[in-house]
Amino acid sequence: MDSERDIIGIIPARMASSRFPGKPLAPILGVPMLGHVFQRSKMSRSLKEVYVATCDQEIVDYIGSLGGQAVMTSAKHERASDRTAECLLKVEAETKKKVDIVVMIQGDEPMIRPEMIDAAVTPLLEDDSLQVVNLMTTLKERTEHDDPNEVKVVVDRNNFALYFSREPIPSWKKGAKSLLMLKQVCVIPFRRDFLIKFNQLAPTPLEIAESVDMLRVLEHGYQVKMVMSEHETYSVDNIEDLKKVEKIMRKEKNQ
């Protein structure tokens, strides 16, 4: 942990998912998915505290039952970054401390490992010019490459994002099967002031077309540093994803 920096994790979560209602509390190995994310995130050496940002009393009650802290936020937020920013400002008002770095951790990443969070934060501690970091990992199967729920990313030689898409990039039709296929993992550390600024930036055409928030950063001329994670991880967008993740996690537990 960087003792000189105030680094917190915020997990935005809401029950009214259009594709999978009630997703945060859907059980995986008998534990609500959000519980896996919260407990694993709490183990990060980089984070001084982890909060859950939500508009649902069910989630507040559940996190409270774990001894955790949930912050009630507006039900009107459409993006996770807006909910995260509201939570951040409420935490600062309550603690009377200004946060340096906030790590937005999506609540549908039950396979997250604490060392993934530590790895994502490290570039911000080492390079003051960076404003936002994303994790990435390799796509294991062609079906993942074709899946619009998986956000693909291509990077330059210094691992800065060139583009994000839900379409298969690079194109298999043009020989890209010999290249590394990469996907975004939604563990996203922001410098505190840049998170606030990001939410004030106007939405951009490519962001809207691709439905990928990080494209707003690129379209406004900022950089997104990508960090490779070697850990296998899958987000949960639907019940089929949940079954797949549960099968993998059961296997890991029994090893």
Question: What single letter denotes the amino acid at residue 126?
Answer: E
Q: What is the pLDDT of residue 176?
A: 65
* Domain contains 110: yes
Number of folded domains that form the chain? 1
- What is the mean pLDDT of the segment spanning 230-245? 90
- Name the residue range of residue 137's domain: 7-254
**Residue-wise over 181-196: b if at least 16 C-beta within 10 A, else e?**
bbbbbbbbbbbbebbe
* Domain contains 65: yes
pLDDT band of 223, cuts 50, 70, 90 = very high
* Domain contains 1: no
* Domain contains 2: no
* Domain contains 200: yes
92-to-8, 31, 120, 132, 194 alpha-carbon distances in Å: 11, 30, 22, 20, 16
Question: pTM for the complete prediction?
Answer: 0.93
What are 36-89's pLDDT values in tens digits?
999 999 999 999 999 999 999 999 999 999 999 999 999 999 889 999 999 999
* Domain contains 144: yes
Q: What is the pLDDT of residue 81?
A: 94
The DSSP bridge partners found for residue 228 are 136
The DSSP bridge partners found for residue 52 are 11, 70
Asked whether residue 255 carries a pLDDT value surpassing 70, the answer given is: no
pLDDT band of 2, cuts 50, 70, 90 = low
* Domain contains 232: yes
Q: Which of the two residues, 253 and 147, has the higher pLDDT score?
A: 147
* Domain contains 81: yes
Asked whether residue 1 carries a pLDDT value surpassing 50, the answer given is: no
Asked whether residue 7 carries a pLDDT value surpassing 90, the answer given is: yes
What are 133-181's pLDDT values in tens digits?
999 999 888 888 889 989 999 999 999 999 999 999 988 777 666 788 8
- What is the mean pLDDT of the segment spanning 82-111? 96
Percentage of the chain surpassing pLDDT 70?
Answer: 97
Give the domain CATH number at 163: 3.90.550.10
> Which range (20-34, 125-139, 168-182) has the least confidence?
168-182
Q: What is the pLDDT of residue 5?
A: 84
Percentage of the chain surpassing pLDDT 90?
Answer: 81
Residue 136 CA to residue 246 CA, distance in Å, equals 21
Cβ proximity of 107 and 34 under 8 Å: yes
- Output the six-digit token pair for 3: 């003792």
What are 200-217's pLDDT values in tens digits?
999 999 999 999 999 999
